Structures are given as C-alpha cells and as structure tokens.
Amino acid sequence: MGISPYSSGVCVCVCVCLQAMGRLDGKVVVLSAAAQGIGRAAAIAFAKEGAQVIATDINAEKLKELDGHAGIKTRAVDVTKRDQVEALAKDLDEVDVLFNVAGYVHHGSILATDEKDWDVTMNVNVRSMFLMIKAFLPKMLAKKSGNIINMASVASSIKGVVDRCAYSTSKAAVIGLTKSVAADFVDQGIRCNCVCPGTVDTPSLRERIQARPNPEQALKDFLARQKTGRMCTPEEVAHLCVYLASDESAYVTGREHIIDGGWSL
Ligand code: NAD
C-alpha cells in the first residue's frame, strides 16, 4: 500500500518543520528599554521567532534578568547619550531591525508642565530616537535594507488625553519622525513604522497608579476608559511588533499602528 501525502506521519513531519521556522529567523534586532514592560516582552517575542536580539536599557541590573535567555544578548545603554548610542552602533556589524522603545510619561496639563519636564520628556522620548536612527541608518543604507520601529502612543496626534501635555506632544513628534524617515528612505530599502498603544499593563503604569493620592480610584479610572474592560498586555503589543519586524509586513511603511482596544474610536 502506498503512503498517502495526507498520512499522519507526513503531517507530523510538516508540522514540526513549520514550527521550527521562526518569522524573524536570521534577523538581528536591536531595541531599547528592554528591561521591563513592552520592551522586555518584545525582546522575548523576537527571540522566540528566531531573531538575534540585542536588548538594551539604562537599568543594567534589571536588564540582567534577560541574561541567558536564548537568542538575547544584553547591554546597558542610555539612549539619551550620543556617545553610548554611537558606541553600540559601532560594535554591531549588521542590524536588520531597530526598535526604539524608551519613553517617559510626564503627567500634567501645559500649566502643570515646567521647562525641565518638557525638556526631559523631549530628550527621552524624541531626541533618543533621533540619535538611535542617525547612528543605525547608515548601516542599513549600506546594505539597502533596514526596518525601524518607533514607540509612539495613542496619546499624541491621534487622541487628546487629559494631563499628558508634554508626553502627547513628544509622541506626536515620534509619529512625525517616523513618517519623515519613511518618506526620505522608502526608495532605498528602508521601512519605518510606529506603534501606538493605548493603556498597557506595565510596571511603570502600576507605579504611576500607586503614586496617585487614591491608587484604587486611579486604577478604576484607567479601567473605566477601556472599552474592552481591561488593559492591553505587553505581550499583545509584542505580537504587533513581531509582525512589523518581520517580512510579512514588507509593504508596510510610514504608518502609525494603533493597538488600543478601541480607546481612540
Ligand atoms: P516602562 O516604563 O515599564 O519601562 C521603560 C523602560 O525604559 C525601563 O526599563 C527604563 O529603564 C527604560 N529607560 C528609561 N529611560 C531610558 C534611557 N534614557 N535609556 C534607555 N532606557 C531607558 O515601559 P512601558 O510602559 O513598557 O513603555 C515603553 C514605551 O511604550 C514607552 O515609550 C511608553 O511611552 C510607550 N507606551 C506605553 C504605554 C503604557 O500604557 N504602558 C502606552 C503607550 C505607549
């Protein structure tokens, strides 16, 4: 009796082969803010899909928790420091994907925002991406292939959010930076997209809730604005980032990718 191509033995073999193929096999991915929250979830998701991940963060101690994770190498980098960013780029021969994640949330309307708050926010949220892209883009252009993903937010040009003046302005700038880079280099093999989450349950969000005068009420308020009745998980954002980092999104560039459970509807 001949073996049918649909026999269970062949099926098992095909399934095993498919499982072994990662969507990011052979890609080198560099990302910032990988010690916790969305950056950490993305680093793990990228590695699970076969990427070689260079996970960076200013918090060297916390970043160490990723040491020994298959496919991940760690390095302490403050992305607001040009010398550190340039040294990182110099040490890496080839980078396929750059994911700029680092960001800082300042609370307050324009009247509750002083110049220092404004400058810190712009420095961490926007100038850091300017430095990282300037450091890594020449390498990508040299091989006519590169993929940049920037972390923006729904709190930006997409949606006005109470008490997020400096933060939202900085994230609108990230969207502008993304479109600018995408437009300038689309004909040279470079893609640039940004991710715009709504409310994601990360350590810093929990800290911000705890810092409120009434944390219980603050949590209720955060949940009340979610049409889904729950916050997004870092892993859900990471799934979107895997898509953007992979060749499945090869025709996607210059866009803001909203993942907010309908908050901005
Ligand atoms: P988080 O605040 O939990 O972690 C941020 C990480 O960034 C920390 O590990 C910190 O050490 C690192 N970091 C801070 N400054 C740095 C610097 N100068 N250089 C290098 N690393 C630095 O992170 P999160 O809540 O997952 O947010 C990550 C990104 O996603 C931020 O850009 C944030 O604005 C954006 N975002 C978050 C949410 C949310 O609800 N959590 C929503 C939309 C967008």
Does the annotation mark 167 as catalytic? yes
Task: Give 28's contacts (C-beta < 8 A, 6+ positions apart).
Answer: 51, 52, 54, 92, 94, 95, 96, 97
Q: How far apart are the first and last CA of the chain?
A: 60
pLDDT at 225 (0 to 100): 86
pLDDT in tens, 43-102: 999 999 999 999 999 999 999 999 999 999 999 999 999 999 999 999 999 999 999 999
CA 244 to chain centre: 10
pLDDT in tens, 116-148: 999 999 999 999 999 999 999 999 999 999 999
pTM metric for this prediction = 0.93
CB-based contact 231:237 (threshold 8 Å) = no
CA of 104 to the centre of ligand 1 (A): 6
pLDDT at 167 (0 to 100): 98
Radius of gyration of the chain (CA): 20
Token pair for 58: 């200013």
Q: Given 6, 167, 243, 251, which residue is catalytic?
A: 167
With bands split at pLDDT 50, 70 and 90, how would you rate the model's confidence at 1?
A: very low
- Kindly provide the b/e burial profile for residues 53-86, where b requires at least 16 CB atoms within 10 angstroms of the residue's own CB: bbbbbbeeeebeebeebebbebbebbbbebebbe
CA of 151 to the centre of ligand 1 (A): 9
What 8-state DSSP symbol labels residue 110?
Answer: G
Give the position, in ligand 1's atom list, of the atom nearest the Cα of 171. 34
Distance (Å) of CA 120 to CA 10, 64, 102, 111, 257:
58, 26, 12, 16, 25
User: How do 97-100 and 146-151 pair as beta strands?
Assistant: parallel
Q: Whose CA is nearest to atom 33 of ligand 1?
A: 103
